[in-house]
């Protein structure tokens, strides 16, 4: 059985018309579903995005918990005191007088103002205007990443208001 061009055209038109209606119905349903979301949910999602990004940077990229979280007697991190400040878990290979022995608490209320913390994370300059001391990594984050880290740290227990 052979199909002629004239018998294929009505079938093709019918198929394309059906496909167009299906695509249009799908677009209308997707648009309607997006509009049906409550405004509060969208705002909450937008507000939690920097905190989620900051959590990812702190926990999976910068690994801040390795120094800023106390350890259990077996050496594991004490997650019940996450980022509460701790003894620096190692010493330098060659002893030096400026090596810090304590990593400060950074959860909730970091040890500097918001502006100072953003400066620290974007330039590696501490509040006295001097570069950070080892073993603290000398981060050069984007401002958006630094703000996300700060949002996450402040979201942990004991946060303070944005004005500081």
φ, ψ at 134 (rounded to 5°)? -65, 150
CATH number at residue 81: 1.10.760.10
H or E element in which residue 105 lies: none
**Does the pLDDT value for residue 66 go beyond 80?**
yes
Number of domains, the chain: 1
CA distances from 84 to 45, 64, 138 (A): 27, 11, 21
Residues 141-149: what's their mean pLDDT?
Answer: 97
In a domain, residue 151? The reply is yes
Report pLDDT for 51.
96
- pTM recorded for the entire structure: 0.67
In a domain, residue 98? The reply is yes
Question: In whole angstroms, what is the distance from residue 124 CA to residue 130 CA?
Answer: 8
* Average pLDDT taken over every residue of the chain: 78
**Does the pLDDT value for residue 151 go beyond 90?**
yes
Structural domain of residue 87, as residue ranges?
A: 48-164
Better pLDDT: 122 or 36: 122
With tokens 């690994």, the residue in question is: 63
Report pLDDT for 98.
83
């Amino acid at each position: 059985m052979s199909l002629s061009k004239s018998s294929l055209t009505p079938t093709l038109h019918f198929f394309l018309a059906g496909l167009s209606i299906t695509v249009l119905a799908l677009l209308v349903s997707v648009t309607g579903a997006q509009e049906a979301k409550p405004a509060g949910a969208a705002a909450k999602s937008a507000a939690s995005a920097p905190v989620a990004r900051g959590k990812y940077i702190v926990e999976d990229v910068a690994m801040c918990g390795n120094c800023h979280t106390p350890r259990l007697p077996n050496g594991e991190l004490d997650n019940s005191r996450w980022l509460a400040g701790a003894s620096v878990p190692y010493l330098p290979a060659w002893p030096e007088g400026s090596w810090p022995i304590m990593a400060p608490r950074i959860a909730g209320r970091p040890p500097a103002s918001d502006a100072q913390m953003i400066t620290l994370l974007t330039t590696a300059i501490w509040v006295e205007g001097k570069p950070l001391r080892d073993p603290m990594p000398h981060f050069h984050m984007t401002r958006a990443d630094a703000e996300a880290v700060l949002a996450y740290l402040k979201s942990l227990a004991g946060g303070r208001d944005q004005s500081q």
